[in-house]
Structures are given as structure tokens and as C-alpha cells.
Structure 1
Amino acid sequence: MEQFALINPLDKKETKEKDFTYIFKTYYKRVYNYIYYRINCTYTTEDLTSQVFEKVMIKINTYSRDKSPFEVWLFAIARNVINDYIRKSKKHKFFSIDSFKNLISKEKNPEDVVMLSETNNKLSKALNILNERERNIVSLKFGATLKNKEIAKILDITESNVGVILYRTMKKLKIEMERED
């Protein structure tokens, strides 16, 4: 008597759901931070982060280990989502509601709140003087906490070029922050 193995099609779906849950839990905070560094608005960042993971879920079958590490592929998707958003919103200038939210504080010491707010404002102004490439690299480095090697793969430039750009950008930010004082 022959035995037939019954294959439950849900088994594969459950495995994919587990894989995607792992991906989401592992990378959400880094993708969120990367986008926030570029956009500087909590609500927009949340929306764009969800778009990134939606695209990852839809296009996971197109990922190839031979082409690049998963992390590089994921942040390339994030970069494209941000670029699409920026292109669409160039027609309209928005102000961030987060700037008003920062004025309302739950902390008891008003001096600390003012100092933190001033520092954040200075940093935001300083980041605005950066060109798109510099801001993107700073976002990948400090928002997504990627290594220079991974950033180089995403942007298709050399690792040493990433280091040089980061060094010059940090120097430019420092000068701008000091000038604000």
C-alpha cells in the first residue's frame, strides 16, 4: 500500500509569515531611524516605514543572495521609498507638527527642555545645509546604523569614498553647529 504525504499549503505560508515577522522585528527600528534622519517627521516616517515593509513583503521573492546581502537590499528599498516621497512632496512645502510637539514637554525641568530643543533645532538646520547625497549617507550611517561597507553597496560607491564623505560631512556639520552658537 502506497502512502501519500499530505502537504498543507498553509505550512509554507506560516513559514513565510514567521520569516517576515523576524525581518520586521530585526530591522524595523533601523529602517525607522534611517527614514527619520532623512524626513524629520514622526508621522511621515511611520507611513514610509510601513511602505518599506509592505514592499519587502511583496517583493521578497525577487531577493537574491547572490546579488547583495539582505540588509543592503532592504535599505535600497527604503532609499527608493524616501526618494519617491521627496519627489512627490517637492511641489509642496510642509512644516513638521513635531516641532510643535517638542514644545510640549512632560519633563519637569524647563531649562533642559529648552536646551534640548535648541540643540535639536540647530542640528535640524545644520542637516538642511547638506546636499541630498551627504544627508543620505548620514541617515544610513547614524539612522540605520549601517557600516561603511554596506552603505557603499547601497549607493554603489567605494567604501573609502563613504568614509571620506562622512568625514567631510561631519566636519561641515560641526562648523555649522558652532556657527549657530
Structure 2
Amino acid sequence: MSAPKRTVSEADMQEEWLEVQAAQKDPAMFRPLYERYHEPIYIYIFRRTTDEMLTADLCSQVFLKAMQKIHRYEYQGVPFSAWLYRIASNEIAQHFRKANKTRVVTIEDAPLSHLSEEIGREIPEDFTPLLVQALDSLKEEDLQIIELRFFEERPYKEVGEILGITENYAKVKTFRILNRIKKNLGE
């Protein structure tokens, strides 16, 4: 499986870790982290809710919880954003559990080239409804893996960190999920 497009250098992660440590000492120092990650987290949530007001509320909750719990954050060799995505993922799941609704899958703005490359076939526009149907048939955790890996273009290490699984298990799960998607698309 090919490497993701988005990677963060070790030097950038070390610099970010210094920003996190500063925020752990003084909450006012959280601002650079907020400014860097607000938009990507907002987009991540919006792709799962398609509701701007709900997205804004959930995004606010994510950053509030992050600020309140930043003293617990420990550097794990992945970008700080992985921790924020985990919080966002939990907030989304909690919302849909409380609302007793199923969550939304949107692929309109998603970069499907990486996904089509992995499943070994081009995904023409008229095939999109079948892809949505295949994605809708996935379990919540499986769908999260596909979204993080292919729509958010996160590396396996981050996918694992966000979902609380190992990098290797994220790879294995992705491979198995892609095989199911291929089967659902009628190889």
C-alpha cells in the first residue's frame, strides 16, 4: 500500500511538541495549535455531519476538550493533530449516539484517486453511487479507517493513533476493508 501524501517531518513534530508544552504551562499558548488545526478539524467533522451549525458546535467542543485536557497529552511520535482527530471522532460518535441517528458519508470533495488506486480500478463519476453504497455498508470503525486514510489522507501511524490501534493493525484492517469494498463493487 502506497504512502500517504500528507506527512509531517520529525522536525515539525518536535517544533509542535514545544508548542504543546508551552500550552500545557499556559493555556493562552494554545492559540497557535488552534489556528493551525481548526480548519482541518472543522472539515473533518463537516464531512461526517453535513450540517454547518452542528459542525461548528462539535468543533468548539473538540477544542474546548483539547484545551481542558492538554496537560494529559503526551508526545507519541505522531502529529498533535492525531489527538485532535481522536477527540473529534469521539465527539461525532457521541453526537450520533445521543441523537440516535446514523452518520453521513460524503465523498463530493474527497480525493478518490488514492482510493481508486488502492482498490485497483478507476472510479468513474457514474460509479459514485455504488461506492457510497459500499461505504454505507461498512461498520462505523471500518468507515472511519477509510475516511482517515483516503479522504483525509492520513498515514497509517496517525490512523492507528486516532483510532487507538497499532499502525500494523490499521494496515491490515484497511486491506481487508478494501477487499470488501471491491467485492461490493462487483470486482
Q: Report the TM-score, using the length of structure 2 for normalisation.
A: 0.59
> 1:101 — aligned with what?
none
Contact 2:96 2:102 in 1 (8 A): no
RMSD value over aligned CA atoms? 3.4
Distance 1:121 1:34 in 2: 21
Please name the residue that 1:171 is paired with.
Answer: 179
> Distance between the aligned counterparts of 1:143 and 1:46, measured in 2?
20
Separation in 1, partners of 2:37, 2:57: 16
Q: 1:162 aligns with which of 165, 170, 178?
A: 170
**2:89 aligned with 1:82:** no
Partners of 2:39 and 2:151 in 1: CA distance: 9
Unpaired segments ≥5 residues, structure 2:
1-22, 107-123
Higher RCO (CA-CA < 8 Å; seq separation 6+) = 1
Tell me the SS of whatever aligns to 1:49. Answer: helix
Write out per-residue CA displacement over residues 72-104 of structure 1, whole angstroms, 9 at most, x where no aligned residue: 3222211211121121122x56999x9xxxxxx
Partner of 1:139: 147
Q: Identify if the C-alpha distance between structure 1 residues 122 and 51 changes in structure 2 by more than 3 Å, giving closer, same or farther.
A: farther
CA deviation map 1:5-43 (0-9, x unaligned): xxxxxxx9xx744x4332223223432343344x24242
Q: Give distance in 1, aligned partners of 2:80 and 2:145.
A: 19
Q: Which runs of 5+ in 1 are unaligned?
A: 1-11, 99-114
**Max radius of gyration: which structure?**
1
Give runs of ≥4 in structure 1 deviating > 6 Å: 93-96
> Counterparts of 2:165 and 2:35 in 1: how far apart (Å)?
29
**Number of aligned pairs?**
145
* Distance across 1 between alignment mates of 2:79 and 2:103: 35
Instruction: Please tell me whether residue 124 in structure 1 is matched to residue 132 in structure 2.
Output: yes
Equivalences for residues 2-17 of structure 1 within 5 A: 16-17=27-28
